[in-house]
Chains A and B, each alone.
Chain A
């Protein structure tokens, strides 16, 4: 099994709907990163969460870290076709540098 499990693996929503993507870790979350990836392209940094209970928002995307449960969630409000892509969570792992271990990704499709 993977160190980071994302759910769901894929998600299809109608434009305007809200949605949530979850990331659960089998290890302690030291620094939890969320990235977005368009197919065949690089990763775009969204947010980083470090402290238990921390919550950050950027435009219509909100990420929360539940440190006790070793979980993070990414919530998108009023989804738009521009939100479509692959969402990846990554854990910094607590080493002296920031090597990231990623989940397998969640593929989001937004129908107009």
Chain B
């Protein structure tokens, strides 16, 4: 299967702990996105990578959040000192962007985070 994969699928943690999620995009895709989705809402943009460069971060992404994409392949999203408000589904998407911005994003299955 060559789709976007995310690990873990579920994560339960206690408030104040650090967590890290991993996303493996479709191979050859140069763009990678992170979104967050809470119950009853559509996904909200968090950050975006073009190859290994992180080019935009949403204001939703506080200082406790950090994302990396070393070597332009897989990406990690780390949340430090988790809070109950961080509980959500974290979605990763990748796309192959060529000449313009109308690239189709393909989403992974998501990581559901529960902060107790």
- Cross-chain contact A43 with B101 (CB below 8 angstroms): no
What is the CA–CA distance of A98 and B102 in the complex, to the nearest angstrom?
6
Chain B hits for A84, CB < 8 A: none
* Interface residues in chain A, defined as those with a beta carbon under 8 Å from any beta carbon in chain B: 4, 30-31, 33, 35, 40-45, 48, 50, 88, 90, 92, 94-105
List the one stretch of B11-19, B38-46, B69-77 in contact with chain A. B38-46
Contact (Cβ within 8 A) A43 B97: no
**Chain A CB within 10 A, most for which of B43, B55, B93, B97:** B43
Binding site for A on B (CB under 8 A): 4, 6, 31, 33, 35, 40-45, 48, 50, 55-56, 89, 91, 93, 95, 97, 101-110, 112
Question: Do B45 and A104 touch across chains, with their CB atoms under 8 A apart?
Answer: no
- Inter-chain contacts of B103 with A (CB < 8 A): 97-98
- The 4 A-B pairs with the shortest beta carbon distances in the complex, nearest first, are A102-B42, A42-B107, A43-B107, A42-B109
- Closest residue to B91 on the A side, CB-wise? A42
Q: Which residues of A contact B45 (CB under 8 A)?
A: 99-101
Q: Tell me the bound Cα distance from A104 to B104 in angstroms.
A: 20
With a cutoff of 8 Å between Cβ atoms, the chain B residues found around residue A101 in the complex are: 45
Given A102-B43, A104-B40, A105-B42, do A97 and B31 touch, yes or no (CB 8 Å)? yes
Q: Give Cα A45–Cα B106 distance, bound, in whole angstroms.
A: 7
